[in-house]
Structure 1
């Protein structure tokens, strides 16, 4: 094994915390730096799924059949704010390239490889951190209310089966037998029994932060303004306070990673998919399982604190104020398949999914700064891929061969 040395992690979201836990388990001295409290950013409000059963990227040959209709609806599942259209254009052009069949197949292989290792990595981390009490193993339902959408979904279900994932197709009545609060319009779908979720993603972050501290790790408040290299490792110039140095640094601050990477000459096409949700403490309905409504672009996630209704993609950057009408639109769509739903009260939230055009994260040594490891851009799979990302980063720092080929996730692949 390589040296057991000091590692500084930029970012105390789920990726940074899981990476800290993996490094501490291997004997490293770990400091995590974030400008906010642990888990208070994008990791706070995600849908809580360990979606290791996903293998298809967002960029796909079929996306173009749906995208025009979505884009015409300003509150639909996929929206570009007019003020951000020019800014997102380079990302969209790369998204078009990633949607071509050959590129799409490469992305499928890379997502499948990462997600196949995701649940085993989490199983180890849950045991090590004492957080198994947060894990729910009720599976996931894919639900549709239009027969034509069921037919289109079958190719995706077969793709999952081709990767060893169990998918059971069900009729509308069979779905309602499993979840009686689904409405009569539900026409059919599928059950994925292997899907796993946690009861509260923010709570998971807080538990991991406590675990990191208990194992001797340090979590500090501070904002990194720039990264530079030096002969002894990596230099972090802080917005306030003294310069920091460490032999190893992990860049894991999600959607905010692009600026720091660009400062060292690694201009990664990272942008943000703004996601919205509402968590309803008393929704008037009860679900045991995670429910995916792909036809409407949102999910229903039963959490310890209530039912989370969330999803959609809005490209609008990091600065624009939330458009809370998008939450109202989510609730209206949910009412079509869950007619007894009462979402008149709840906690509204908007977060920034750090996304790359090919739906793959960057898990890669920097090509410009020795000792710097990139770990960002996980998009919809941040919670899913956090533990395996931590293991892969730990292998890189130790000088070991990672468990999977990291070439598809290289920082300079674009």
Structure 2
């Protein structure tokens, strides 16, 4: 018997995982999304369960690196001129989050949440029968510049402090693992416990089908308003439809900010626009997930081809894509993999919902205890989704969550 009704706003991977955890606890669940299952960042990501990545973007030395990146409009970090003024408040908070104390606190919180990521995903994969869509071949971090390699060693040390295995590799060892690497590669490392999906869109669709078979309803609507009324949550769509529920979850990624604000929580959420291209016939065999940290993008071999993607662009939700950013990544990828065939491919741009301290917002609304937040995961949305879903379901069930959610509260800024 259902213990109550929950409406989840957002049919991305976080919303789907939250629905799964709520169903397990006996809730009657409806998912409301303006475009459908995995229509946004959940379909266009690189397909990595990056639980071994514990470092926030903000760091004491990040501004020195960011300054050089910003000089290159097609580099790893860019701010569109038309959006420069709007992003200033986010950047100010990002600077504040770059202090050594704040970075240490953020790292601790990310590591704690990521430590729950794989166990939570294992439970969801088993329950939904999607365990066969997972590969466990590890991740290679690859460098073509000595300065970037030296800096990465500090990050590897931090990962090892949290019990994460990182194996430094020579050039010859890297080529043994990936023979297609060019002479530009000077070193790197293997992160053996990294996990990758065959395709993130396929996984989301499979989970959605499994949820539908368990009587989860899917509604196509853009939620424009949310309010609490006499113990009931009322959702109103932009076309005037109304939904009432005992509880609700805001999990609509980059579109979550205005809904949280209606409940009195002003969160500094912005969007890191990510770009990629998927090459159906790349001409090279990639055996593992490959990160190019010095250039801010990755190479991910999915079931539908090789996906080259990443980088960060601040440009909000409305500006048109700058496809030259894709071309720049492809050019750099060919420096590492000279035999890469880039003749055909599908380009994509999506919105990562990002908080200045790299921590998502997970917890109850400060004004409505029957509304939970599950957004702002930035680069870790896929990674942290299953764990987030379980934590939110625990909150909605009146249980004490298994993780201290104080660092993830909406009111921390």
TM-score under structure 1 length normalisation: 0.98
- Give the aligned partner of residue 349 of structure 1: 348
Secondary structure in 1 matching 2:341: coil
Shift of 1:74: 0.6
Secondary structure in 2 matching 1:234: strand
- Give the aligned partner of residue 155 of structure 1: 154
- Give the aligned partner of residue 198 of structure 2: 199
Runs of 4+ in 1 over 6 A off after TM superposition: none
8 Å CA contact retained: 1:292, 1:300:
yes
String of CA shifts for 1:178-212, please: whole Å, max 9, x gaps: 01111111111100000001010011110111011
- Give the aligned partner of residue 72 of structure 1: 71
Secondary structure in 1 matching 2:363: strand
Secondary structure in 2 matching 1:76: coil
Shift of 1:241: 4.2
| Structure 1 residue 125 corresponds to structure 2 residue 142 | no
- Give the aligned partner of residue 239 of structure 2: 240
Shift of 1:150: 1.4
Q: How far apart in 2 are the matches of 1:139 and 1:394?
A: 30
Shift of 1:149: 1.8
Which region of structure 1 is more displaced relative to structure 2, 232-241 or 392-401? 232-241
- Give the aligned partner of residue 100 of structure 1: 99
- Give the aligned partner of residue 362 of structure 1: 361
Q: How far apart in 2 are the matches of 1:350 and 1:134?
A: 24
String of CA shifts for 1:225-251, please: whole Å, max 9, x gaps: 111111132111221243211111000
Shift of 1:371: 0.5
- Give the aligned partner of residue 289 of structure 1: 288
String of CA shifts for 1:356-408, please: whole Å, max 9, x gaps: 00000000100012300010000000000010000000100111111110000
- Give the aligned partner of residue 319 of structure 2: 320
String of CA shifts for 1:153-201, please: whole Å, max 9, x gaps: 1110010000000110001111010011111111111000000010100
- Give the aligned partner of residue 230 of structure 2: 231
String of CA shifts for 1:225-284, please: whole Å, max 9, x gaps: 111111132111221243211111000000000011112221100000000000000011
Q: How far apart in 1 are the matches of 2:73 and 2:113?
A: 33
Secondary structure in 2 matching 1:220: strand
- Give the aligned partner of residue 140 of structure 2: 141
Q: How far apart in 2 are the matches of 1:265 and 1:403?
A: 26
Q: How far apart in 2 are the matches of 1:224 and 1:192?
A: 40
- Give the aligned partner of residue 381 of structure 1: 380
Q: How far apart in 2 are the matches of 1:403 and 1:215?
A: 26
Unaligned runs of 5+ residues in structure 1 are none
TM-score under structure 2 length normalisation: 0.99
Q: How far apart in 2 are the matches of 1:21 and 1:165?
A: 28
Q: How far apart in 2 are the matches of 1:60 and 1:29?
A: 42
Unaligned runs of 5+ residues in structure 2 are none
Alignment of 1:44-55 (within 5 A): 44-55=43-54
Secondary structure in 2 matching 1:363: strand
- Give the aligned partner of residue 413 of structure 1: 412
String of CA shifts for 1:15-73, please: whole Å, max 9, x gaps: 00011011111111000000112011111100100000011000011212211111010
Secondary structure in 2 matching 1:12: coil
Shift of 1:147: 2.3
8 Å CA contact retained: 1:233, 1:370:
no
Secondary structure in 2 matching 1:53: coil
Query: RMSD value over aligned CA atoms?
Result: 1.1
Secondary structure in 2 matching 1:353: strand
Q: How far apart in 2 are the matches of 1:35 and 1:193?
A: 38
Q: How far apart in 1 are the matches of 2:243 and 2:29?
A: 13
> Number of residues paired by the alignment?
413
